[in-house]
């Protein structure tokens, strides 16, 4: 079970990272606000990948501890943690040299949901649920 969850975490993390890079590029082309010094490519991919791997560990632990209710508790916690993580970009102190710092939260806040969205989307492909009778 952990191998499947870890593979899901890595693939969903990479997918979320790629989605984040595409979103950052679109955000820049639309708003002409360059935040590549604050949110570089490697940081976007690494944070998404870390989110996916931590999700895999949490999923495995909760399913081992809570058996029947592990998945629903995991889904709830993953969603809550995604929302709670929004405080980080809001509280982040940007360098004064950046133009249009007010646009920074608009770029990074949606990216905080990409790991959860990728996980929830890809999970049925990696981990089959029990059939409902």
The model's pLDDT over 69-106, given as tens digits with 9 standing for 90+, comes to 999 999 999 999 999 999 988 888 888 788 888 888 88
Assign residue 39 a region: left if phi > 0, alpha if psi is -120 to 50, beta otherwise?
Answer: beta
Q: What is the pTM of this model?
A: 0.87
Of residues 57 and 1, more confidently modeled: 57
In a domain, 9, yes or no: yes
End-to-end CA distance of the chain: 23
Which residues, other chains included, contact 60 with Cβ-Cβ below 8 Å and sequence gap of 6+?
1, 2, 5, 6
In a domain, 132, yes or no: no
How many independent structural domains does the chain possess?
A: 1
In a domain, 133, yes or no: no
Question: Exposed, middle or buried: residue 55 (CB in 10 Å: 0-12, 13-18, 19+)?
Answer: buried
Range of the domain at 13: 2-93+101-125
- Residue 111: its pLDDT value, please? 94
What tokens does 8 get?
């899901």
Q: Which of 32, 5, 10, 39 is nearest to 110 (CA)?
A: 39
The model's pLDDT over 17-56, given as tens digits with 9 standing for 90+, comes to 999 999 999 999 999 888 888 899 999 999 999 999 999 9
The count of other CB atoms within 10 Å of the CB of residue 10 is: 14
Of residues 131 and 86, more confidently modeled: 86
- Residue 130: which pLDDT band, with cuts at 50, 70 and 90? low
In a domain, 130, yes or no: no
In a domain, 131, yes or no: no
């Amino acid at each position: 079970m952990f191998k499947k969850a870890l593979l899901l975490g890595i693939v969903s993390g990479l997918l979320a990272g790629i989605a984040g890079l595409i979103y950052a590029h679109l955000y820049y082309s639309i708003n002409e606000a360059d935040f590549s010094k604050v949110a570089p490519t490697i940081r976007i991919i690494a944070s998404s990948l870390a989110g996916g791997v931590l999700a895999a560990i949490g999923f495995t632990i909760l399913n081992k501890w809570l058996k029947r209710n592990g998945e629903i508790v995991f889904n709830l916690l993953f969603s809550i943690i995604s929302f709670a993580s929004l405080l980080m970009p809001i509280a982040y102190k940007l360098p004064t040299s950046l133009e249009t710092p007010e646009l920074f939260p608009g770029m990074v806040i949606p990216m905080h949901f990409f790991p959860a969205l990728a996980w929830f989307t890809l999970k049925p492909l990696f981990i089959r649920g029990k059939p409902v009778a």
